[in-house]
Amino acid sequence: MFLNRLRKSISLTIVSVVSMMYITAQEQQHFSMYYIQPSMINPAAMGQYDNINGALTFNKQLVGFDKSPLYLQLDLSIPIGKTGLYLGPTILHDRIGVFDKTRVGVNIAYRIKLNLKHYLTFGLNGSAVVANGSLGSVATNNLGDPSFSSNINGIWNPDIKIGAHYFTDNFYIGFNVGNIFVNKFFDTGSGATNEIRVNGADMHYYLMGGWQKRFGPNWKIKPNALIKFIPGSPLQIDINANAVFKDMIGFGLSYRTVNTLVFNANYTVNKFLVIGYAFNWGLGYESRTNYTGHEVLLAFRVQSSKRIIPVDVPRF
Q: Quick one: pLDDT at residue 82?
A: 84
Burial class (CB in 10 A: 0-12, 13-18, 19+), 299: buried
Residue 191 reports pLDDT greater than 60: no
Q: Quick one: pLDDT at residue 6?
A: 43
**CA gap 68, 280 in Å, rounded:** 14
- What is this structure's pTM? 0.79
The pLDDT > 90 percentage for the chain reads 41
User: Which amino acid belongs to residue 295?
Assistant: E
Residue 34 reports pLDDT greater than 80: yes
Q: Quick one: pLDDT at residue 188?
A: 56
Among 288, 313, 295, 232, smallest CA distance to 29 is for 295
Residue 133 reports pLDDT greater than 90: no
Strands 236-245 and 224-229: antiparallel
What would the pLDDT profile of 138-158 be if each residue is shown by its tens digit? 656 666 555 555 666 767 788
Residue 118 reports pLDDT greater than 60: yes
Q: Quick one: pLDDT at residue 120?
A: 96
DSSP label at 135?
G
Please provide the CATH number assigned to the domain covering 2-135+153-301: 2.40.160.40
Residue 28 reports pLDDT greater than 50: no
Query: Across the chain, how many H-helices and E-strands are there?
Result: 1, 18
What would the pLDDT profile of 243-297 be if each residue is shown by its tens digit? 999 989 999 999 988 788 999 999 999 888 999 999 988 887 654 555 578 999 9
Residue 9 reports pLDDT greater than 80: no
Q: Quick one: pLDDT at residue 12?
A: 37
* Average pLDDT score over the chain: 79
Residue 233 reports pLDDT greater than 90: no
More confidently predicted of 70 and 304: 70
Among 4, 285, 266, smallest CA distance to 117 is for 4
Residue 27 reports pLDDT greater than 50: no
What would the pLDDT profile of 50-77 be if each residue is shown by its tens digit? 889 999 999 887 776 777 788 899 999 9
Give strand ranges (E) for 41-151: 53-61, 70-79, 85-96, 99-115, 118-133
At residue 100's C-alpha, the angle toward residues 97 and 102, to 5°, is 155
